[in-house]
């Protein structure tokens, strides 16, 4: 798992530039925007959808901003939650200081933002890399939060036992197609391309924060922080993963894994479905994924004093591909802890 996340982040090293402009476009999502100070000279972007009932703080994955939740958050509000998303330091419109990217510091940023926003006992719901911040929140700030929900985010990053064989299995399958110039003619076109190939209809505001806009309005490469900040982030991750040992989490926690129920769940639109070789390779990848989920789920249960594991057959961004199922799981989890959100 260490190689998987560092390998993905290494893609950001090849690109860079200032945060992409919005270019005469208005975000249709119903959030307000503010900036909360979490340290000297460091402010985080906070997107606030309002709502009433139990509070939820949403944390995005590595490279993403709070805008990745633009279509998911209003659905949570509709189910009786008070919802705010934070964009971590070094990302999007939040401050990008030269240091402070260790997991403990990132968790402290979230705790400070919770205090600054005046939110009481929120549930923290985080995707992917946000699991690292959530581990620290659950162990060091358990008095400030009601519980944690990991969205394909609860992995033993120190376990690289299957990295090589897993990478080989993925590499044996046809690669996803790259977008053509027509697919990058606009953010709407890119959104459609990603829906066709990945099955996830991302919010356009997320894509505008994730990809650089060219002067002519077409879409350029992926956005990333300036190189010194990226190197600082990678260094902090390598240090943490070299001796990975999160502290025991002292609040109730739910881990939702994106997990296939059968091998056909892993078939992609660009695979030749009648090719028996492809079928055998998908079967092998399915076996590896099932083993990975079970292994990391067991690790999570040992890490958490009061934990539960759930699975949803969907994309890595489960809250985009399978929002209703995710919200149902969150509703069940919060209800068992006394939350009074709708069902």
The pLDDT, as a whole number, for residue 49 is: 98
CATH architecture of the domain formed by 2-173+224-336: 3-Layer(aba) Sandwich (3.40)
Contact 63, 9 (CB under 8 A): yes
**Nearest Cα to Cα of residue 121 among 326, 327, 339, 300:** 339
**Nearest Cα to Cα of residue 238 among 158, 134, 129:** 158
The pLDDT, as a whole number, for residue 4 is: 47
Strand partners, 148: 124, 253
Contact 137, 112 (CB under 8 A): no
The pLDDT, as a whole number, for residue 11 is: 44
pTM strictly above 0.85: yes
Q: Let me know if 110 is exposed, middle or buried by CB neighbors in 10 A (0-12, 13-18, 19+).
A: buried
Strand partners, 201: none
Nearest-angstrom CA–CA distance, 38 and 40: 7
Tens of pLDDT along the chain (343 residues) come to 555 454 445 444 444 444 444 456 889 999 999 999 999 999 999 999 999 999 999 999 999 999 999 999 999 999 999 999 999 999 999 999 999 999 999 999 999 999 999 999 999 999 999 999 999 999 999 999 999 999 999 999 999 999 999 999 999 999 999 999 999 999 999 999 999 998 899 999 999 999 999 999 999 999 989 999 999 999 999 999 999 999 999 999 999 999 999 999 999 999 998 999 999 999 999 999 999 999 999 999 999 989 999 999 999 999 999 999 999 999 999 999 876 676 5
The pLDDT, as a whole number, for residue 15 is: 45
The pLDDT, as a whole number, for residue 338 is: 75
Which tokens hold the place of 111? 């705790």
Nearest-angstrom CA–CA distance, 58 and 123: 9
Nearest-angstrom CA–CA distance, 199 and 219: 20
Per domain, the residue ranges of the chain are 2-173+224-336
Nearest-angstrom CA–CA distance, 156 and 123: 22
Contact 303, 254 (CB under 8 A): no
Residue bearing tokens 């943490």: 240
**Nearest Cα to Cα of residue 20 among 164, 211, 196, 151:** 211
For 214-333, strand residue ranges (E) read 219-222, 253-258, 307-312
Strand pairing category for 253-258 and 147-151? parallel
Contact 29, 71 (CB under 8 A): yes
**Could you tell me the sign of the dihedral formed by the alpha carbons of 119, 121, 127, 130, in that order?**
positive
Residue bearing tokens 């594991």: 309
The pLDDT, as a whole number, for residue 199 is: 87
């Amino acid at each position: 798992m260490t190689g998987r996340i560092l390998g993905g982040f290494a893609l950001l090293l090849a690109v860079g530039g200032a945060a992409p402009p919005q270019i005469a476009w208005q975000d249709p999502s119903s959030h307000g925007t503010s900036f909360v100070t979490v340290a000297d000279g460091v402010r985080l972007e906070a997107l606030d959808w309002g709502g009433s009932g139990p509070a939820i703080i949403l944390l995005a994955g590595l490279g993403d901003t709070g805008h990745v939740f633009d279509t998911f958050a209003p659905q949570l509000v509709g189910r009786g939650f008070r919802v705010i998303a934070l964009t971590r330091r070094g990302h999007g419109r939040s401050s990008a200081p030269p240091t402070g990217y260790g997991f403990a510091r990132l968790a402290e940023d979230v705790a400070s933002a919770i205090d600054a926003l005046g939110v009481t006992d929120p549930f923290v719901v985080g995707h992917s890399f946000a699991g690292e911040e959530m581990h620290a929140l659950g162990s060091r700030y358990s008095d400030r939060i009601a519980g944690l929900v990991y969205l394909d985010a609860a992995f033993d990053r120190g376990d690289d036992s299957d990295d090589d064989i897993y990478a080989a299995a993925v590499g044996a399958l046809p690669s996803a197609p790259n977008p053509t110039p027509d697919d990058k003619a606009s953010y709407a076109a890119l959104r459609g391309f990603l829906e066709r190939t990945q099955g996830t209809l991302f919010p356009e505001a997320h894509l505008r924060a994730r990809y650089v806009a060219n002067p002519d309005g077409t879409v350029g490469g992926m956005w990333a922080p300036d190189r010194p900040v990226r190197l600082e982030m990678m260094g902090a991750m390598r240090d943490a993963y070299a001796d990975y040992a999160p502290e025991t989490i002292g609040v109730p926690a739910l881990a939702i894994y994106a997990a296939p129920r059968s091998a056909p769940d892993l078939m992609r639109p660009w695979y030749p479905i009648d090719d028996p070789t492809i079928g055998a390779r998908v079967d092998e990848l399915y076996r590896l994924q099932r083993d990975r989920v079970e292994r990391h789920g067991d690790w999570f249960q040992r890490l958490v004093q009061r934990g539960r594991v759930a699975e949803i057959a969907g994309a890595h961004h489960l809250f985009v591909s399978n929002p209703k199922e995710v919200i149902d799981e969150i509703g069940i989890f919060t209800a068992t802890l006394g939350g009074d959100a709708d069902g």
